[in-house]
Chain A
């Protein structure tokens, strides 16, 4: 089984547009959207949801005011400022609660309940490019890392069931918990960057993260003609670090036009952009 995760460090570099195009070009694969925080791939792929499951992760503390004796132990012990007192009662601000159970354990009246936290939903869907595993984390919910791990496992199981040997994932932005989860066990991280100061900065950080986890890196410079000097700098950085530069894509509003039509760029554009993207995909396959 081979797994490719497309990441970007920074958002808005064209990661999802390219993943969508790769989903069109790849054969025998499962598609997976690991950007559970702000998933967008479904906009391009219009999935039919075949299976919907609730996602619970961790617990949250809830004070039962009928049992509370107002001793304030919970407020004193909470390290996250989640326990509040409004003059009449104690309550938990659930967005600050980390689910550590300290207040629950130390409440002398056992007045704090600890139900499971309902964090979102995940789906197995069919798309015109094949099966897709994706999710929706409720805004403000946490534990996206755990949801990412769940999706990866589902994608692997689906791939086995359908006899595919490739999992193509749209990864999360950033370098924190969701990206770390999306990289674990992957064969190749494809980093989409752009020739801007922040593009290079974020590329370096996310590439460092990949090295930290010993994951091979391939780089695509999107909108490379926006600033050729900066593009050369990124190319130099890739050479120095031994990352394969699998392609440069010129700035082209076709990506946006395709998105507005809910299509991927290789479906609607027969010009050089589609050709370029498909050559890049061939390069990526060679690295696997």
Chain B
């Protein structure tokens, strides 16, 4: 089962929950950090990194001796990544989405694949668990292509080794978050009981419910704020699988990179129960 931990809003405790769930998970699990803009899961799981590979996107390279400046490529390109200016053809690799249209349409076959670096893909081990992380190059704007590379590696890894995956998804509800949760079997939304938390939780539901997968919530910093989120979940029939109490000690432990499931037997049992509930709901199939 692939479980994505998402949140709508940042800072709700997605990474805290991902790290703790991984630690208490019963059975082999791969922990995956798909928040490639700000990967943090490694700060908690302290993985031993076995390999770090650069990930590239294919972008066009033009052989100017073959180009007749016919502009077929530039009129197809929707991203202004290739353009004729005067008597020169220019490419803008940072704008390119890698669709390959320019190469396919060029009547002179003057375009071949070059590449631009998107970031790195790290693989390793955290305890007995496998660990995967994508890290976007600073200055690179597009995270989904790198996320796709991490997901491909995950699929290979699971084919080879089996087990489940716990995926720390990026915050927000636009393309990166959607890219992270769309191929998973279970979506766990981490929220906090405040007006900001409720507002972003509603946006996240709106984005993720169309995937028609089991969705459940965890309320972090329970006891802070108000009862809006709780009320909304019960109205919408979204099961709240766990409450993580609001506690300065937890916040302090988090700040030092501690996995909070390891702080006390009580907290550990919160996550053990959460893992069990996820497995039960996930086993119920997509209509659960």
Contacts and interface: CB of A to CB of B under 8 A. Distances in A.
Contact of B138 (A95, A96, A175): A175
Interface in B10-50: 10-12, 15, 37-38, 40, 43-44
Contact of A173 (B10, B15, B210): B10
A194 B99 CA distance: 39
A222 to B, nearest CB: 11
Interface in B137-181: 138-143, 170-176, 178
A251 interface: yes
Contacts of A130: none
Chain A interface size, as a band, is: 35 or more
Contact of A12 (B9, B78, B139): B9
A59 B78 contact: yes
A176 B136 contact: yes
Contact of B10 (A10, A58, A205, A227): A10
B224 interface: yes
Contacts of A209: 138-139
A12 B8 contact: no
A174 B37 contact: yes
A259 interface: yes
Contacts of A144: 174-175
Contact of A100 (B12, B99, B226, B248): B99
Nearest to B175: A142
The winner among B142, B174, B178 for most chain A CB atoms within 10 A is B174
B101 interface: yes
Contact of B40 (A102, A195, A201): A201
A287 interface: no
Given A139-B204, A142-B174, A197-B43, A38 B8 contact: yes
A247 interface: no
A38 B172 contact: yes
B101 A177 contact: no
B172 A173 contact: yes
Nearest to A43: B195
B98 interface: yes
B40 A198 contact: yes
Given A9-B38, A105-B76, A198 B15 contact: yes
A33 to B, nearest CB: 12
A197 B225 contact: no
Chain B interface size, as a band, is: 35 or more
B102 to A, nearest CB: 9
A260 B194 contact: yes
Given A142-B175, A173-B172, A174-B37, A259 B207 contact: no
Contacts of A8: 10
Given A176-B142, A196-B254, A260-B225, A11 B195 contact: no
Contact of B173 (A13, A140, A205, A227): A140
A173 B172 CA distance: 9
A205 B255 contact: no
A105 B105 contact: yes
Given A226-B255, A253-B224, A260-B194, A12 B11 contact: yes
A202 B38 contact: yes
Interface in A189-232: 194-199, 201-202, 205, 208-209, 212, 223, 226-227, 230
Given A12-B10, A38-B200, 13 more contacts: A10-B11, A37-B172, A100-B99, A139-B174, A139-B206, A141-B175, A174-B171, A176-B142, A177-B141, A180-B141, A209-B138, A226-B248, A260-B225
28 contacts: A8-B10, A12-B10, A37-B172, A38-B200, A38-B203, A40-B196, A59-B78, A79-B99, A100-B99, A101-B78, A101-B101, A102-B101, A105-B101, A105-B105, A139-B173, A139-B206, A141-B174, A142-B174, A173-B172, A174-B10, A175-B38, A195-B255, A197-B40, A205-B37, A209-B138, A226-B252, A251-B248, A262-B195
